[in-house]
Amino acid sequence: MELIGLLNYAVFMAIFIGIYSLLALGLNIQWGFSGLFNAGIAGFFAVGAYTSALLTAPESSVHLGGFQLPVVAGWIGAMIAAGLIAWPIGKVCLRFRSDYLAIATIGVAEIIRLVVKSEGWMTGGARGVNKIPRPFGDLTYLYSQLAYLALVVAIVFVVYLAIERQISAPWGRMMRGIRDNEDAATAMGKDIKARRLEAFIFGAAVMGLGGALFAHFNRSITPEAIDPMIATFLIWIMLILGGSGNNRGALLGVAVVWIIWSASEFVTDQLPTEYAIKAKYMRVFIIGLLLQLVLRFRPEGILPEPQGTADRPEVKTLQNQESAAK
Amino acid sequence: MPFMEFVNFYLMPGIVLGSIYALGAVGITLVFGILRFAHLAHGDLATLGAFAALGVVTIFGVSPWVALPAAMVFCAFMAIGIDKLFYDYLSERPKIIVVMSSLGIALMLRAIVQVVWGVDTETYTRGIVRPDDYWGIRIRDREIYTIIAMFVIVGVLWAFLQKTKWGKAMRAMSDNPDLALLSGVDNRKITMLTWGIVGMLCAASGFFLGINTELKPLMGWTMLLPMFAAAILGGVGRVEGAVIGGLIVGIAEETSVLFIPGEYKAAMAFAILLLILLVRPTGLLKGKVL
């Protein structure tokens, strides 16, 4: 019995790691390869989750719906919707330094939260969308979980391969070129704005897919499903710790941070109630501190970006000093 | 709608809210202009300032107005400390890394507030204050003080930047850091000074938001977007621009209720931000574009 419980928990954790992996891979396209700062990951996640949920859920009196499309259509819809949200934002903000994109994406996540909360006719308001179909949902609990895990792993694998291929293609080299030296890339006639926009939309679509997988896994989605800031921040620390610019690093970071995060929850749950609530916030504090430490002592992450000698920050500083000395 | 009703229920609250945003936006514009990055922990530093003032009120039992200077000094030291502990080490790296670090600091500051003061809504004083009537304009004392304090604080800062040696050095750093360095401006001292001023402004904006509404751990974070919209609207690096921007964003938010559902009040700042970036990224008063 105990063993079954443990297995269930492990499978549950693994599915979450898979879903967070998609978010981290999406962020890696935006930040790791293109240097775009997206502080509104939770927003794109929510758009994907709600789009897929509404496209596939049965008819209901509390929210828009009754389309009952196949799940695959929901996922594709989720990716398109997240990409469509990213397009105007990128269009306006990518002309400037990434600081502006950071502020604007915080705004986007906030607006999406507002829309989800107040447009009850569409999203069901606080009650959210329920009875979302789940692939292999008819099997018994454990088999259903295992089947869903296999599905998530397969999707993560496909997305991983797609990104790896795209990044080693000329497009990927160009993106890194733009990230590392904008002036040189412009001089070579690259359309920087258009390329960045592509990367931003591509990344957002992958995040939307992550949201869709979450909604179908949970079978329901409500505005309280995730805390926007903490979810966004967790993805960031996962990517930075794992190694931005390296997809395998991103996946490793997700696993490491998610296990630390869940294990610390396990510990704080043992505390008496009055401390448990405070301990919850201490966890957030520690994860914030972890980011500061990684940024300061190991900015390239556990698995640094491959092949690069020239694009590592400390090398760049060194080069700057050299050129200054000349 | 009668004119006085518009003034009392939309314009005056807008000016009060705008003054609070203006105080924060001036700080943002200083960091953006002098240190050249978007400081995402600005709102949560304001929260910390507001709660620090609450701490002084509850421990010493003094009036909130006495607690304000204490909170400002406290936040000035906090800001300098954060810079020395975290941002300073990243100064050789791309600026966007500091932006990321500040996002982490935002979460850490909020966590501190939540651990020390809990998550409940607090107020400085209990009881309802009725607005007084001045020739048909209904306004509370604290609202008048908020507007006056904003102009006094910004006025002092403006005089400091224009007249004193240190103020001029700060403006020089903002205009051209390399040239300022060559002319003998001490980069590190200016950075410290900037953080001190920014911390004080943060505490003031948080305090005035708290005294006009309530204290919540998320109060500062929700102010972040309007404050950035105000700073960019006014022109990055322009102190007087930030005040104008703050007032415009505040009034726009309060009057937006006349045209759009109240839930979307918070969306106004975002709309203004996107519009100004689209039409005139230098802002109304021709600031910098990073």
Number of H helices, E strands in chain A: 13, 0
| Residue among A265, A229, A33, A84 at smallest CA distance from B105 | A229
Is-contact B203 B50, C-beta < 8 A? yes
- Average pLDDT over all residues of chain A: 86
- Cβ of A281 under 8 Å from any chain B Cβ? yes
| pLDDT-derived band at A324, boundaries 50, 70, 90 | low
Question: Looking at residue B225, what is its pLDDT?
Answer: 93
Q: Do A100 and B100 touch (CB under 8 A)?
A: no
Q: What is the DSSP letter of A30?
A: I
- Alpha-carbon distance of A63 to A222, in angstroms, equals 12
Half-sphere exposure of A225 (CA within 13 A, CB side): 27
For residue range A246-288, what is the model confidence (pLDDT) as tens digits?
A: 999 999 999 999 988 888 888 887 878 777 778 888 888 988 9
Nearest to residue A55, comparing CAs of A39, A35, A78? A78
Q: Answer with the residue of higher pLDDT: B235 or A125.
A: B235
* Least trusted range by pLDDT, from A35-44, A53-62, B54-63, B188-197: A53-62
Residue A317 has pLDDT above 70, yes or no: no
- Residues whose CB is less than 8 angstroms from the CB of residue B203 and which lie 6 or more positions away in sequence, other chains included: B45, B46, B48, B49, B50, B52, B53, B68, B71, B72, B74, B75, B76
- Tell me what the mean pLDDT of segment B166-186 comes to: 87
**Is B107 within 8 Å of A285 when comparing Cβ atoms?**
yes
Measured CA to CA, the distance from residue A141 to residue B170 in angstroms comes to 64
The pLDDT of residue A281 is: 86
The model's pLDDT over B73-130, given as tens digits with 9 standing for 90+, comes to: 999 999 999 999 998 888 888 888 999 999 999 999 999 999 998 888 888 887 777 7
Q: Report the alpha-carbon distance of residue B43 to residue B219 in Å, rounded.
A: 8
Alpha-carbon gap, residue B264 to A254, rounded angstroms: 34
Is B97–A104 a contact, with Cβ atoms under 8 angstroms apart? no
Taking one residue from A and the other from B, the number of pairs with CB-CB distance under 8 angstroms is 130
A168 touches chain B (CB under 8 A): no
pLDDT surpassing 90 at residue A136: no
Chain B contact present for A271, CB below 8 A: no
Average pLDDT over residues B209-218: 90
pLDDT reading at A192 higher than 80? yes
pLDDT recorded at residue B188? 87
Backbone angles phi, psi at B41, to 5 degrees: -90, 5
Residue B11: how many CA atoms within 13 Å on its side-chain side? 9
- A118 contacts chain B (CB < 8 A): yes
Is the ipTM reported for this complex over the cut 0.85? yes
Q: What is the mean pLDDT of residues B282-290?
A: 81
* pLDDT of B178 strictly over 90: no
Taking CB atoms and an 8 Å limit, are B99 and A99 in contact across chains? yes
Domain ranges in chain B are: 3-122+141-279
CB within 8 Å of B91: residues ≥ 6 apart:
B98
Separation of alpha carbons B223 and A131, rounded Å: 36
Nearest to B112 among A39, A107, A285 (CB): A285
Q: Under CATH, which architecture does the B3-122+141-279 domain have? A: Orthogonal Bundle (1.10)
pLDDT > 70: percent of chain A: 93
Confirm if B204 and B231 have CB atoms less than 8 A apart. Answer: no
Residues of chain A contacting residue B38, judged by C-beta atoms under 8 Å apart: 99-100, 102-103
pTM: 0.89
Measured in angstroms, the CA of A131 and the nearest CA of chain B are apart by 28
Give the pLDDT mean for B150-156. 94
- Which of A271, A281, A316 to probe the B interface (max B CBs under 10 A)? A281
CA-based nearest residue in chain A for residue B290: A97
DSSP state of A286: H
Question: What is the reported pLDDT for A9?
Answer: 87
The CA distances from residue B89 to A7, A231, A296, B98, B173, in Å, are 44, 26, 7, 9, 19
B133: enclosing H helix or E strand: strand B132-134
Q: Provide the residue count of chain B.
A: 290
* Residue A308 pLDDT greater than 60, yes or no: no
pLDDT at A309: 47
Smallest Cβ–Cβ distance between B104 and the set A103, A107, A291 belongs to: A291
The nearest alpha carbon in chain B to A314 belongs to B93
Inspect the interface and report whether the beta carbons of B100 and A230 lie closer than 8 Å. no
